[in-house]
Amino acid sequence: MKPWTIAIDGPAGAGKSTVARLLARRLGYLYIDSGAMYRAVALLAQRNEVSPDEADAVSALTRTARISFQSDGDHQRLFLSDEDITEAIRAPDIATLASKVSAIPGVRAALVTQQQALGAQGGVVMEGRDIGTVVFPSAELKVFLTATPEARAERRLQEIQARGHVNATLESVRADQDERDHRDATRAISPLASASDALEIGSDGVGPEQVVEEIIQCIDARRRGA
Ligand code: DC
């Protein structure tokens, strides 16, 4: 059977990464975190001292950037040219900057082309904000993962603290999240939105394994033509 393309979209902190990674492992598919690519562009802009307000300059940087993924067992490492930037892109200031550069049409155009090339053969689980709506509008399965803002901020705080940012507080994470949610959902181009044919799943109080189980059941049912 032809391998499927699976899109997992949703706001920050809904648990997309864990679910997408587990799902890809279960299916033997490639996992791609498209948000990491926007973060790579943010890091590149920061290092080149290019402000996110300079849309043309950031777009030009994106077009020349050599962003690539390398698999590391179950996880994935992100490279900018030959440099491993897996940890560097997780800094909180890069999250904010990524949200800003992702509103630039030239940045999106360049990254969407790369994402489509990465998933061209199928057999991929790609997570992001516009995967089901823009990158792979004919994906065989689209999932939109949501959770309450409170639960998302809690999850995000734990992730950030686990990375050693021990001074982060729930209030600061929630404030950043609200600002980012607003920007991601209201930008003119490809705002965060659920595709009309997406399977919507709420992850409040539900573990990632359970969400993956629900997705697998949906895949099985669709393959049986149910
Ligand atoms: O998923 P993340 O938090 O790592 O994403 C970082 C930023 O990139 C997020 O604020 C929105 C943006 N993004 C996007 O616009 N489109 C995607 N497909 C993925 C991420």
- For a ligand 1 pocket test, name from 46, 113, 129, 176 the mutation site with the most ligand atoms within 8 angstroms of its C-beta: 129
Q: Which two tokens stand for residue 47?
A: 């290092």
Q: How far is the CA of 38 from the centre of ligand 1 (A)?
A: 6
Question: What is the residue with the minimal CA distance to atom 16 of ligand 1?
Answer: 129
133 within ligand 1 shell (Cβ under 6 A) = no
Architecture of the domain delimited by 5-220: 3-Layer(aba) Sandwich (3.40)
**Residue 1 pLDDT more than 80?**
no
159 pLDDT band (50/70/90 cuts)?
A: confident
Residues of the chain with pLDDT > 70: what percent? 99
Give whole-number Cα distances, 216 to 2, 33, 119, 141, 208, in Å.
16, 20, 20, 11, 12
Q: CB neighbours of 177 closer than 8 A, spacing ≥ 6?
A: 12, 13, 149, 152, 153, 156
pLDDT score for 52 = 97
**Residue 73 pLDDT more than 90?**
no
Q: How far is the CA of 184 from the centre of ligand 1 (A)?
A: 8
Rounded Cα distance, 42 and 95, in Å: 8
12 within ligand 1 shell (Cβ under 6 A) = yes
pTM: 0.94
pLDDT per residue over 9-56, tens digit each? 999 889 999 999 999 999 999 999 999 999 999 999 999 999 999 999
136 within ligand 1 shell (Cβ under 6 A) = no
Identify the CA nearest to 75 among candidates 22, 8, 122: 22
Q: How far is the CA of 10 from the centre of ligand 1 (A)?
A: 10
**Residue 75 pLDDT more than 70?**
yes
pLDDT per residue over 118-155, tens digit each? 999 999 999 999 999 999 999 999 999 999 999 999 99
Q: CB neighbours of 15 closer than 8 A, spacing ≥ 6?
A: 145, 147, 155, 203, 208, 211
Please report, for the chain, the start and end positions of each structural domain, with discontinuous segments joined by +: 5-220
Question: What is the residue with the minimal CA distance to atom 2 of ligand 1?
Answer: 35
Chain centroid, CA 145 distance in Å: 12
Q: How far is the CA of 12 from the centre of ligand 1 (A)?
A: 8
pLDDT score for 225 = 85
C-beta of residue 86 within 8 angstroms of C-beta of residue 77: yes
C-beta of residue 142 within 8 angstroms of C-beta of residue 7: yes
pLDDT score for 164 = 84
What is the average pLDDT across 195-205? 94
pLDDT score for 182 = 92
Question: What is the residue with the minimal CA distance to atom 1 of ligand 1?
Answer: 35
